[in-house]
Structure 1
Amino acid sequence: MDSDAGNRKRALRAELRERRRNLTGPERDAATAGITRNLVDLATDLSAQSIAAYLSTTAEPNTRPFLNWAHRQGIRVLLPISREDGLLDWTTGDGESETEGLYGLPEPVGGLLGPIAINDVDLIVVPAAAVDQTGMRMGWGRGYFDKTLGSMEKCPPVYAVLFDAELVDEVPREKHDQPVDGAVTPTRIVQFT
């Protein structure tokens, strides 16, 4: 890892975590409503029949209302399960049953489909700490989604979910970092490609 980029990433992540901690309940509720509306619009516009997404933590923008909507619509939703080797397995969990996975993150309960199950989805929704104006995504430092996206031969549209202030001019970049096609915030859908 480039030590300068790594140091800048750590500092930016710490700042973003603090901003997220300082959001009020009403601000989080408004953000959830906006993100859900925009994710529904995105999935509808893409006519997505299968989506790879994630179970949000309490500190992240809330993806759960969107996941519930997708299940009600009959959209197949793949959710990740972190592996110790740095890869992601996938499952079609029911969106309600979950357990604590690696690093204390919420993970779905369901039969494992393996890392290549994501190859058949129409849309990938990923978490992000920040995304810059070119579409470069900065995650939280474990590299799971960078490895997954970097290994795909034919990747469907990939959208990061974040708060409005986390769309920034530039994020520190390293060789393994993967860009996204767009970002979904409480107030807008941004396309980079």
Structure 2
Amino acid sequence: MWRELPQDKRAARALIRAGRRARPAQERSEDDAALAGHLRDLLGDRLPGLAATYSALPTEPPTRAMRTLLEQAGWRVMVPILLPDNDLGWEDGNAHDPSYVAEATLLIVPALAVDRRGMRLGQGGGSYDRSLHRRSPGSLALAVVYDDELADVVPSEPHDLAVDAVLTPRAGVRHLTE
């Protein structure tokens, strides 16, 4: 299941993006339900809090059912607002500045790939890297990818931070450590 990726970020991104474009659209609704089911299992008896999540782009693993699950379970859900400097503000009915992400106890973040250490390969703008740097100790950072986007090693830089776990439609949640 873990795969090799080029260690050049641009080449790795191009490879993953091509695979996502080739993915059959029919899988998306199945993946949406599967991801929400795995998230429900992960949350278990956890008391609801504030969750930072995102709205998936058409080629990304879907997030609609996860957001609905969180809201129905009593979680307050905030979504990112891309700011002119590529940082992320947050919206939960009210607009908040980038530091508001520190209030979240759960961060669901996009990725193109995630490796065994929890390093994630993003789109390249650094937006979510900044948010991960602002998160509070004890919060759970969960990256969402397709099952074939788990890598032995993703290219990373010293400023990159690892996520705690990865969520995929088939394998579910994997907690990661170095």
Same fold (TM over 0.5): yes
**Aligned position for 2:76:** 76
Quote how far apart the aligned CAs of 1:85 are: 2.0
Question: What TM-score comes out, normalization by structure 1 length?
Answer: 0.82
Distance 2:97 2:43 in 1: 24
Output the CA distance in 2 between the equivalents of 1:36 and 1:17.
23
Aligned to 1:53: 53
**Matched residue, 1:157:** 140
Name the CA distance, whole Å, in 2 between partners of 1:141 and 1:46. 33
Q: How many residues end up aligned between the 2 structures? A: 171
Supply the distance in 2 between the matched residues of 1:46 and 1:189 (Cα, whole angstroms). 16
* 2:166 matches 1:189: no
Letter in 2 for 1:189: V
1: CA distance between counterparts of 2:39 and 2:126?
23
Match of 1:133 among 111, 116, 120: 116
Residues 96-155 of structure 1, C-alpha deviations (whole Å, 9 max, x = no match): xxxxxxxxxxxxxxx312112211221110000000011111111000111121234535
Which residue identity lines up with residue 69 of structure 2 in the other structure? W
**Structure-2-length-normalised TM-score:** 0.88
Task: Determine helix, strand or coil for the equivalent of 1:25.
Answer: coil
CA deviation after TM superposition for structure 1 residue 166, in Å: 0.5
Higher helix share: 1
- After TM superposition, the runs of 4+ consecutive aligned structure 1 residues lying more than 4 A away are none
The 2-side partners of 1:180 and 1:69 are apart by 22
Q: Distance in 1 between matches of 2:108 and 2:12?
A: 22
Contact 1:36 1:65 in 2 (8 A): yes
* Root-mean-square deviation over aligned CA pairs: 1.8
Could you list the runs of 5+ residues in structure 1 that have no partner in the other structure?
A: 1-5, 94-110
Q: Is the 8 A contact 1:126 1:158 kept in 2?
A: yes
More contact order relative to length (CA 8 Å, sep ≥ 6): 2
Give deviations 1:132-188, integer Å, cap 9, x for gaps. 011111111000111121234535110000100001111011122111000000021
Q: Does the aligned pair in 2 maintain the 1:149–1:155 contact within 8 Å? A: no
- Give the whole-Å Cα distance in 1 for the aligned partners of 2:103 and 2:135: 11
CA distance in 2, matches of 1:150, 1:52: 14
Residue 37 of structure 2 is aligned to residue 37 of structure 1 = yes
Percentage of identical aligned residues = 36
* Cα gap change, 1:139 to 1:71, in 2 (>3 Å): same
**Cα drift, residue 28 of structure 1:** 2.3
